[in-house]
Amino acid sequence: MKKQTLVITYGTFDLFHDGHYKLLKRARDLGDQLIVGVTSEIFDQNRGKLNVQDELMQRVNNVKKTGLADKIIIEEYEGQKINDIIKYNVDIFAIGSDWKGKFDYLKEHCEVIYLDRTKGISSTELRSKKSGIIKLGIIGYGRIAERFIAESKFVSGVNIEGVFGLNLSRVKLFAENHELSFHTTNFSTFLEKVDAVYIASPHLTHYEYTKKALAADKHVLCEKPLVLNVDNATELYSLALLKDRVLLEGIKTAYSPGFLRLIGLAKSGLIGTIKNVDATFTKLVNQNCRELNAKEAGGSITELASYPLLAAIKILGRDFENFYFYSYFDSEKKVDLFTKFNLTYSNSIFTGKVGLGVKSEGDLIISGTKGYIYVPSPWWKTEFFEARFENPEYNKKYFYKFEGDGLRYELAEFISLINDRKKTRANYKLKVDDTIQIIKIIQAFIDKENVKEI
């Protein structure tokens, strides 16, 4: 008797939808029998998948209900796929095209087929659900938008539907490359098709796009800096409140587990009273890029200061008394290539250093009366830190995984705030007032307040 063709596929299958059903159907049609691996909570945690909402049993039941799976197994550990394929003598491994190339290593053991993923998620199907999938559109098609798409695969409960931009051929290409269901250069058309937007366009466009999106009742996640002056920021947050929409600034560090633990530890009293914080972020860029273009609000402070300022505000608070900037400017480009700045508080001092044309060690040091916490570069992707004391016997190391390039943390926070709107008011990770204080400092620099050029 001819051996039956056995197909295997894997997934989380959270908030089970049309795209999942079609994938299972196509996988089943490739052979005679289908095994479906459903990810366990621990496995999803380990691979950095965030915001999974349904429990494992619920997800298994949803797959079962399709009647397409001949066998359901649980995926519990990294490397299990190879073992399953050998154990069950699998002929074909099938998975959605969003994973293209990622599972080629299995070709040694069986045939690997990437099936077209479902682009848009149908709204009629979602409306019947309590907490559906958020349809998100991207504004912009640059490097950060690319990275955002890759990271969004690791956040459950969101589907990237389409892209908006001013250049038709660029948005078209972007949508094709990332299998999005639409692209457009018309902002109203764009807004009609989504529930929420991610703004990854140049700084000076943030205000207009955020305002229009909120006015059209859309939730907004905007890359840092949200805007470059406090009046604009206050206006946008008031509009968000009025419209009962989420407006979140995308400073990824603020939402990452390592940074949140670091703040907790620093404030626990372990290193005594905190008296000083030093935070540095430098990134050398090439001469002709947007980051060094004064007309596009380029410069080290506008580009990079959100990160050190986040550390200042989160560790020492919002009530600084004075600030001073010491800057090395490019005389032709009229942008700061390096700026060292101090915030003085009644009882403590903060020093930040940012540079696009000067390189330095990107670490963070929190100094207290009993000891200090050292966070090595890149501290803004907080993964490892050490509490150090006069007597090194008491030193203690801490480790938290920082997944991917971290954009998934801001997206996951955004989605969970949308799903539980009340949390917005209590959003402790980056409060509206925190954002406003950060913008206040950036604005002061732009207005040349207390800036000494060297």
Secondary structure element (H or E) that encloses residue 60, with its range = helix 56-65
Taking the complex as a whole, how short is the minimal distance between the CB of residue 346 and ligand C2G, in angstroms? 49
Contact predicate 221/250, CB 8 Å: yes
Taking the complex as a whole, how short is the minimal distance between the CB of residue 53 and ligand C2G, in angstroms? 12
Q: Which is nearer to ligand C2G, 121 or 315 (CB)?
A: 121
Query: How far is residue 449 from each of residues 210, 385, 452, measured CA to CA in Å?
Result: 27, 34, 9
Secondary structure class of 63 (helix, strand, coil): helix
Enumerate residues 6+ apart whose C-beta is below 8 A from 284.
355, 356, 357, 359
For 250, list phi and psi in degrees, rounded to 5.
Answer: -85, 75
Bridge partners of 342, per DSSP, are: 324, 351
Taking the complex as a whole, how short is the minimal distance between the CB of residue 47 and ligand C2G, in angstroms? 7
Taking the complex as a whole, how short is the minimal distance between the CB of residue 19 and ligand C2G, in angstroms? 3
The pair of structure tokens assigned to 164 is 């908006």
Using the Cα atoms of residue 416, residue 418, residue 419 and residue 424 in order, give the sign of their dihedral: positive
Bridge partners of 52, per DSSP, are: none
Contact predicate 119/107, CB 8 Å: no
Bridge partners of 291, per DSSP, are: none
Q: Which is nearer to ligand C2G, 63 or 279 (CB)?
A: 63
Contact predicate 225/306, CB 8 Å: yes
Q: Which is nearer to ligand C2G, 20 or 218 (CB)?
A: 20
Taking the complex as a whole, how short is the minimal distance between the CB of residue 10 and ligand C2G, in angstroms? 4
Catalog residues that contact ligand C2G under the rule CB under 6 A: 10-14, 19-20, 23, 39, 49, 75, 95-96, 98, 117-118, 121
Q: Which is nearer to ligand C2G, 154 or 307 (CB)?
A: 154
Q: Which is nearer to ligand C2G, 8 or 309 (CB)?
A: 8
Q: Which is nearer to ligand C2G, 39 or 302 (CB)?
A: 39
Taking the complex as a whole, how short is the minimal distance between the CB of residue 378 and ligand C2G, in angstroms? 26
Q: Which is nearer to ligand C2G, 14 or 383 (CB)?
A: 14
Q: Which is nearer to ligand C2G, 98 or 330 (CB)?
A: 98
Enumerate residues 6+ apart whose C-beta is below 8 A from 309.
352, 437, 438, 441, 442
User: What whole-number distance in Å separates Cα of residue 264 and Cα of residue 241?
Assistant: 28
Taking the complex as a whole, how short is the minimal distance between the CB of residue 59 and ligand C2G, in angstroms? 8
Most distant CA pair in the chain, distance:
85
Q: Which is nearer to ligand C2G, 93 or 255 (CB)?
A: 93
Secondary structure class of 344 (helix, strand, coil): strand
Q: Which is nearer to ligand C2G, 39 or 435 (CB)?
A: 39
Q: For the CA atoms of the chain, what is the radius of gyration?
A: 24
DSSP sequence for 262-317: HHHHHTTTTT-SEEEEEEEEE----TTSGGG-GGGT-SHHHHHTHHHHHHHHHHH-
Taking the complex as a whole, how short is the minimal distance between the CB of residue 153 and ligand C2G, in angstroms? 6
Taking the complex as a whole, how short is the minimal distance between the CB of residue 40 and ligand C2G, in angstroms? 10
Contact predicate 432/307, CB 8 Å: no
Taking the complex as a whole, how short is the minimal distance between the CB of residue 247 and ligand C2G, in angstroms? 27
How far is C-alpha 388 from the chain's CA centre?
30
